Structure 1
Amino acid sequence: MNVLIIEDESWTAQRLVTLLREYDPTIRVLAQLPSVAKAINWFKSSPPIQPDLIFLDIFLEDDLGFSLIEQMNLTIPIIFTTAHENHALQAFKANSIDYLLKPIDLDELTMALNKFKLVRQLPAESPPIQQVSDHFIRQWTPPAYRDRFMISIGPKLRSIRTDAIAYFFFENKATYLMPLVGSPMSIDYSLDKLGQLVDPGQFFRVNRSFLVAISAIQSVHTYSGSKLKVELHPIARQDVFVSVERVTEFKDWLGR
C-alpha cells in the first residue's frame, strides 16, 4: 500500500509513519508534505507512483486541506487527521474513509485502515467512498464534551467546571489551566488532548501554546499587519497572538 501524508506538524507526521510501520511494515510512505501548495506541486510533478490512500490534516500551514481536494479534484481515498472535530461531517463528504482526532493512537489507526481495506473490496459498480461516507455520516454523532476537570493540588483534588475556565496554556514543558478566578493550576493533559475534550464552540486553539475560552477574550487587536493579538482576562503571563494560519478560522469562530 502506498500512502501520502499531508501534515504541517513534523512530529505528528513522524508519529503517523511510526504507527503505519507498526500496523504493516510493507506500507510505503511516498512523501510527507506540510502545505496545500507543496501537495499541489507534488501531484503536478507526475510522481511515478500514485498513492492508494492520503492522510490529510485539515488545518495546514497555508490553507485548509479541503482546498487541496477541490483544486486537484482528488478522488483518492482520504483519512483525515486533525485536532478539531467540528469539520467531521464535511470531511465524510470528501472521499473520506475516516476522521482521526489527534493524538492518533494505533487502535484508531488500525480501525481506519481496516475500513479502507473494506472499501477496496467493494464491487466496482458501487460508489465505495460515498457508501462508506454516507454510513459514517449516519452513525456519527457530536461527541460529549467535558463539563468539569479534576485537578491535583498537592494531596488535594479539586473539580473545576469547564465554564469557569478562562484558558489552558503550555509553558516550561507543562500544561496549565487558568480559571476565571484564581491562579494557574497544572493539568495532566496536552493542549491537543484538551482541544478534543472541550466544546469547540466555546474554546479555540489560537496558537500552539494557548487554548482560550470565548468568555475570556476581552479584545482583539490587529498587530503588525494581519497578525492578531488577543487580550485575555485574567491577563496571560505572555502576549497571546493568533497563529497566522488560524486567523481566518478564528474570525469565523468569533462571529458565530
Structure 2
Amino acid sequence: MNVLLIEDEVLAVQQLTKLLEEIGPHIRIIGQTDGIESSVEWLKSHAMPDLILMDIELSDGQSFEIFNRVDVPCPVIFTTSYDEYAIRAFQVNSVDYLLKPIKPADLARALTKYERFNRQGAFPMNLSQLLGELQRQNQPQEYRTRFLVKQGQRLLPIDVERIAYFCTEDGLTVFLTREGMKHVVDYTLEELEAMLNPKVFFRATRQFILSIDSVGAIHTHFNGKLKLHLTPASDKEVFVSRERVNAFKDWLGR
C-alpha cells in the first residue's frame, strides 16, 4: 500500500510514520507534503498513491482546497484536532476521519476499513456512523488530578499541580513536589505517562517525567543533546537525547 502524508506538523509526521511502520511492512510512505501548494504540485507530478493521510488545517489553508485544484481519485483518511469538519470531509472520497492525537488502534481500524472497501471496489460514506464514531473519539481525556501517598502512618493526597517531576530511584518510582518533598508512588513511568496530561508533563528520559514548570536552565551539549537544570534540583544529571530534542522543544512551545 503506497501512502502519501499531507501534514504540516513535524511531530504528527513522526507519529504517523512510526504508527504505519508498526502496523505492517506492506505500507510504504512514498511522499510527504506540508501545504496546499506543495500537495497540488506533488499530486500533479507523481503517480497517484493508494491512500492519502491528510491533515485538514495546513500551513497555507484548509486541505479541502486541494480537491478544487487537482483531481484526487484515491481514498483519503483525514486527520485533525477538530471535529467541526466532519461533514465536509465526507463530501470528498473519505474513508475515515481521525481526531488527534491519533490512537494506534484508531489508525489500524481505519486502514482495515480502507482495505475492506478496496477489495469491494467502493468507499461508502456513512455519515451517521462517522458522527457516532466522532462523538466517541471526542470524549474529553481524563487525566490524573492527584495521587494518594503514604507519609508515616498517614495517607496524604497530593494534587498533580504540586508535582515538579517523576523519576526512578533505586528501583522505585518517586516524585518531587515543588517544595522539594519526595514521595513514592506505586506506578511505573510508563503507566504514569498514560495518566498525565501531555501538555503539562513530558517523558524527557527513561528515568524522568518532567512538569513544564520544573524545567529551569537548558544548555546545549555534545552530540546534539540538551542538559537540563531542574527545579527543585535533581541529584542526577538530566540529558535530553538528540532524538528527543525536537519533541522536547515542541512541548515547550517553540
For the aligned pair, the TM-score class normalised by the smaller chain equals: 0.5 to 0.7
- Which digits, 9 at most, give the CA deviation of each residue in 1:134-170, with x for residues without a partner? 7644422330112211112343211111110000001
Paired residues of 2:201 and 2:209 also in contact (CA < 8 A): yes
The equivalent of 2:206 in structure 1 is 208
Give the drift of 1:172. Answer: 2.0
The alpha-carbon distance between structure 1 residues 250 and 172, as it changes in their structure 2 partners (threshold 3 A), is same
C-alpha RMSD over aligned residues = 4.3
Q: Is 1:229–1:242's contact at 8 Å kept on the other side of the alignment? A: yes
- Residue 66 of structure 1 deviates from its aligned partner by 2.2
- Give the letter aligned to residue 66 of structure 1: L
Which residues in structure 2 correspond to 1:168-247 (within 5 Å)?
168-247=166-245
**Counterpart code for 2:147:** F
Distance across 2 between alignment mates of 1:237 and 1:218: 15
Identity of aligned residues (%): 27
Corresponding pairs, count: 179
| Distance in 2 (alpha carbons) for counterparts of 1:132 and 1:192 | 34
The answer to whether the 8 A contact 2:174-2:182 is kept is: yes
Is residue 125 from structure 1 mapped to residue 122 from structure 2 by the alignment?
yes
After TM superposition, give the deviation of residue 237 of structure 1 in Å. Answer: 1.8
Gaps (5+ residues) in structure 1?
A: 1-42, 45-57, 79-87, 101-108
Q: What are structure 2's unaligned runs of at least 5 residues? A: 3-9, 21-27, 32-48, 54-78, 82-95
Aligned residue identity for 1:245: E
For CA contacts below 8 A with separation 6 or more, give which structure has more relative contact order. 1
**Within 2, Cα distance between the matches of 1:191 and 1:252?**
21
Contact 2:199 2:251 in 1 (8 A): yes
Which of residues 34, 40, 64 is equivalent to 2:14?
A: 64
Distance 1:169 1:144 in 2: 22
Q: Tell me, yes or no, if the aligned pair for 2:215 and 2:228 is still in contact at 8 Å.
A: yes
Change in Cα spacing, 1:116 to 1:199, as seen in structure 2 (3 Å) is: same
The CA distance in 2 between the partners of 1:72 and 1:115, in whole Å, is 19
TM-score (norm 1): 0.55
User: Which one has the largest radius of gyration?
Assistant: 2
Instruction: Find the aligned partners of 2:248 and 2:109 in 1 and give their Cα distance.
Output: 35
